[in-house]
A and B are shown apart, each in its own frame.
Chain A
Amino acid sequence: MSAEEKDEQREAAHHTHKETTGRQRLLAGLWPPRISRAQLIVALLLFGLGLGLAIQVNSTSDKGALRGARQEDLVRILDELDDRTQRLEEEKQRLVAQRSELESSSDQAEEARKQTLEKERQLGVLAGTVGAQGPGITLTINDPQGAVEADRLLDTIQELRAAGAEAIQINDVRVVANTYFSEVDGGIQIDGKKIAAPYSFKVIGKPQDLEPALNIPGGVVQTLEKEQATAVVQRLEKIVVNALRPAKRPDYARSSSQ
């Protein structure tokens, strides 16, 4: 406050003692332009100031904050950047390792899933839970006099299995590992399901093996013909075994692997 008061006193003194005010002096200095020694020297100094100002403004706006920074700050910034780079590099390596790990594990999982599916299909063909198709033969047994008994059919199945049959269907019953034949009231039952003549076998396997196995002298076909039944074997490029049976989960037996 005292400084302001002093200023005001000084101003008041100027007003009383001299006619010219500060504003008038300023205008008089500005216009008309006079070339005096004082003006020239001041102009030279102000030129230097303007130059420095412009250079400084340029350099700070040009290259960001680093331009005007001092040495220790630059060293600190550099250190921080190095640290940060190192940290980021480590993080990158970690992430890359994680990624490759995940990729390989997902590849493995996919492979395992494919193998499991394949295995499921193969086992499904054996267990009769899925349909099967492929080359094979059909065997049709006509039995007008009802002379064919269950054990004859069982013999036929055995013969086909020995010849490499992979999937067998009699009429609409799938024949699997635990299939059984029985005779009830003169009729034949397979797995408790009654079937009647003509018995139509659909067998998937190598036709060149299956057909001779049935046709050999003293084999299935001859035996059946002796019993007044007729058996017709036909090779086909495509047999479809589409009779299914439900998948049964064993109550007691568990896989011992794993």
Chain B
Amino acid sequence: MIAVLGLVVGVVVGLLVRPEVPAVVEPYLPIAVVAALDAVFGGLRAMLDGIFVDKVFVVSFLSNVVVAALIVFLGDKLGVGAQLSTGVVVVLGIRIFSNAAAIRRHVFRA
């Protein structure tokens, strides 16, 4: 419950405050958000499976974000940033879908 509240508060604060993102971070923010979403869905699935461990969630969340940003950064340096970030988004999207399928099975039994 507290976790859901945290998400809601984060969205509300982001919408109300409208903080300026530093230009250095800006290209990595969308990828980082998608990676974090992947981690959240993974964590939700683990919770439904009864194997949720908060430490694992924290590590996977942070590492997902960092690795995604790192890949995009590397891609930018190599000159294939656009393609690589598309690839990352595709991979993360597939994982989100498979996690969502598992969650669906738990929640709706279908």
Query: Which of B8, B26, B82, B105 is in CB contact (< 8 Å) with A73?
Result: B82
A46:B15 contact, CB within 8 angstroms: no
Least distance between A66 CB and chain B CB atoms (Å): 12
Least distance between B47 CB and chain A CB atoms (Å): 6
* Distance in angstroms between the alpha carbons of A53 and B11 in the assembled complex: 7
B29:A45 contact, CB within 8 angstroms: no
A144 in the interface, Cβ–Cβ < 8 Å? no
Residues of B within 8 A of A (CB): 1-15, 18-19, 21, 26-27, 29-30, 32-33, 36-37, 40, 43, 47-50, 54, 57-58, 61-62, 76, 79, 81-82, 98, 101-102, 105-107, 109
The 8 A CB mask of A35-48 against B (1 = contact, 0 = none) is 10111111111111
Residues of A within 8 A of B (CB): 3-4, 7-8, 10-11, 14, 18, 20-23, 25-26, 29-35, 37-56, 58-59, 68, 70-73
B106:A23 contact, CB within 8 angstroms: yes
Given contacts A55-B21, A58-B15, A70-B27, contact A11 B10 (CB under 8 A): no
Given contacts A30-B1, A54-B15, A58-B18, contact A14 B58 (CB under 8 A): no
* Distance in angstroms between the alpha carbons of A20 and B106 in the assembled complex: 11
- Chain A-chain B contacts (Cβ-Cβ < 8 Å), number: 143
B33:A56 contact, CB within 8 angstroms: yes
* 5 pairs, A vs B, C-beta closer than 8 Å: A46-B40, A50-B10, A52-B36, A55-B19, A72-B82
Q: Which residues of A are found within 8 Å of B11, using beta-carbon distances?
A: 50-51, 53-54
Chain A residue nearest in CB terms to B14: A54
Given contacts A38-B54, A48-B36, contact A33 B9 (CB under 8 A): no
B50:A25 contact, CB within 8 angstroms: yes
Q: Which residues of B are found within 8 Å of A70, using beta-carbon distances?
A: 27, 76, 81-82
B14:A53 contact, CB within 8 angstroms: yes
Pairs of residues from A and B, 8 with the lowest C-beta to C-beta distance, nearest first: A50-B10, A54-B14, A43-B6, A22-B106, A38-B54, A22-B48, A33-B1, A47-B10
Query: Which of A8, A11, A43, A52 is in CB contact (< 8 Å) with B3?
Result: A43
